[in-house]
Chain A
């Protein structure tokens, strides 16, 4: 399947091993870390290469368990929209991050729109869901703008840095 999607402002494309340096530089941010579950802080180059070794082989599979789209702008990787826990023809979880200097320009809402459409149309999925931490209003806005509905508040459903945390679950269905 073709995983390259171009829009006016950016290109979504599969990660390559050579993206590790750009990812390590642009994701290494406490403000990204605090509202995500699996992104460490500080973020080292080895974190990027370790993660790539897990996700890059998936692009070649007939039924990938995840598809991560790198957001490329001006020749640089500035963020990501990823589909994970893909259950073929059924559902997937969506997650995303964007480096801080590109915030406030509607890039993530646009990228999520494109990737959600990809999930429904190309992957023929029927449910795309996301989790956010309640204080993360910006991420909630990204989902609202894309027609995601807040389905519930899951109390103490996850742990971050050893602490129990609540999370909202959001979904769009087709």
Chain B
């Protein structure tokens, strides 16, 4: 499951323990924490080390629970695209974040396009889905541009910091 995708602007590759420092520099952002479910703010080096340790152990497994890709730009981990809740030959949930300094250039949209193509063509999945909070228009645009279909709004679907929130569910099928 060690896939590497090179494009002109970035490289998608497995995450490494050595990504911790540049990962923290980019993920430690109130805005990222606000629009995601499990990314804390502030995000410490300890959080990064714990997360990377868990995720790097997945690449060795026959059936990985998730397949995360680092978005590498100028040797730094600028962001991440993760195929989570991986069900072989069936489906996976897409999650992603990108550091503030890299936004507004279509990088996330291009990275999602590459990972979704890999999910369908190499991993032979039939469905890739994603959740966004209703207020997160930017994330919704990334999915729209990749021809994801907005399947519905799941009310009170998640609890974040003790508050119930709705989820928009999106999917692309092959």
Contact = CB atoms under 8 A, between A and B. Distances in A.
A126 B162 CA distance: 12
**Could you tell me the dominant secondary structure of chain A's interface residues?**
strand
Contacts of B126: 156, 164
Interface residues of A, number: 19
Interface residues of B, number: 18
Nearest to A90: B159
A126 B156 contact: yes
Interface in B6-40: none
Interface in A118-174: 126-127, 129, 149, 151-157, 159, 164, 169, 171, 173
A8 to B, nearest CB: 32
**Could you tell me the dominant secondary structure of chain B's interface residues?**
strand
Contacts of A87: 159
Given A90-B164, A153-B151, A173 B156 contact: yes
A91 B154 CA distance: 12
Nearest to A126: B156
B164 A126 contact: yes
Contacts of A151: 152-155
A159 B126 CA distance: 11
B76 interface: no
Nearest to A91: B156
A159 B169 contact: no
Contacts of A90: 156, 159, 164
Interface string B77-112: 000000000000011000000000000000000000
A155 B152 contact: no
A91 B153 contact: no
A42 to B, nearest CB: 26
Contacts of B90: 159, 164
B4 interface: no
B91 A127 contact: no
Contacts of B153: 151-152
B171 interface: yes
Contact of A157 (B91, B149, B154, B164): B91
Given A90-B164, A152-B151, A173-B156, 14 more contacts: A87-B159, A126-B156, A127-B155, A151-B153, A153-B151, A154-B151, A154-B169, A155-B171, A156-B127, A156-B173, A157-B127, A169-B154, A171-B156, A173-B155
14 contacts: A91-B156, A127-B164, A151-B152, A152-B151, A152-B169, A153-B152, A154-B171, A155-B171, A156-B126, A156-B173, A159-B90, A164-B126, A169-B154, A171-B155
